[in-house]
Amino acid sequence: MNVLDLIGNTPLVELKKTSSELEGVSIWAKAEFRNLSGSVKDRAAKAMLTEGIEKGLLRPGKTIIDSSSGNTGIAYAVLGAVLGYPVRIYLPANASRERKTILACCGAAVVETSPLESSDGAYLAAKAEANAHPEKYFWPNQYNNDVNWKAHYHSTGVEIWEQTAGKVTHFITGMGTSGTFMGTARRLKEYNPKIQAVAVQPDSPFHGIEGTKHMASTIKPGFYDETFPDRFAEVNTEAAYARTIRLAREEGLFVGISSGANVQAALDLGRTLPPGSLVVTMLCDSGFRYLSDGFWGLTND
């Protein structure tokens, strides 16, 4: 097996204790932390780098450059190590310490940008550097590269359909680049137009749900279509934190904050649905990337 084959085909697990709060509705989640570098972003990163190599845009002597809130950067770093390319990542300075450490351990050069400018500032800084030195860099440009959402169209959506034997009725997940949502939901709706696609967002521009965008207050990804979701769901930071802790302590799933937000939104949605509904969401990454965050209630003693 090639190490790149460790990307995709992740398990779909039923959240039994979470679903027990509902009347005849089940919530299932894709365990994306099982991917090679540990997050859902492996899928798009692999697809974008592969296309770059096939088109001759990514070749020996070039450095992979992009902005990230953490997970895509880690995916680039791991894949860069596998494929033999250096990696340079622009990252908001307030990204978790663990994400920065993983990037450094995998050999990526990290450029920290203003936390006040969030992912937008990192994106603009990476764009400026890539455009200033096109001979030096390969810029996948994850926010505006259609290969991003197509990776999920060709993999995640197919997997969910097959793993639920076509019984999925609702797909709900948060958005960073929106690639996971747009690609997966498009594929699922081709299988069955009745499947509802629900986009999750923080309830405020000022939030602590890493990797998730409040679309109304940020630079929108080029392939994001705000008319596509059947509905939107909002989650506040405190509810996302609380659900993340409960997933670890009740379901045995030690996942990150965006996963907690996704599951909380799925649960809120489930309370409005008729019996027999099957809701699928995403567990985007592992909780190990957020150990230093204070919401766990841990101390350093």
Residue 30 annotated to the active site? no
Running DSSP on this structure, what letter comes out for residue 292?
Answer: T
- What is the Cα Rg of the chain in Å? 18
For residue 141, which of 216, 43, 52 has the smallest C-alpha distance? 52
Distance CA 275, CA 269 (A): 12
Catalytic hit among 26, 37, 67, 258 = 258
Torsion, Cα of 75, 36, 9, 54 (10° steps): 50
Distance CA 179, CA 70 (A): 16
Catalytic hit among 30, 37, 41, 155 = 41
Distance CA 32, CA 18 (A): 18
Distance CA 73, CA 76 (A): 5
> Tokens standing for 86?
């250096």
Distance CA 87, CA 210 (A): 22
Beta bridge partners of 90: 67, 111
Is 285 within 8 Å of 33 (Cβ atoms)?
yes
Task: Give me the half-sphere count of Cα atoms (radius 13 Å) on the Cβ side of residue 263.
Answer: 34
Cα 238 versus chain centre, distance:
20
b (16+ CB within 10 A) / e for 208-244: bbbbbbbbeeeeebebbeeeebeeebebbbebbbebb
User: In what helix (H) or strand (E) does residue 268 lie, and over which residues does it extend?
Assistant: helix 257-270
Distance CA 142, CA 101 (A): 22
Residue 150 annotated to the active site? no
Active-site residue numbers? 41, 258
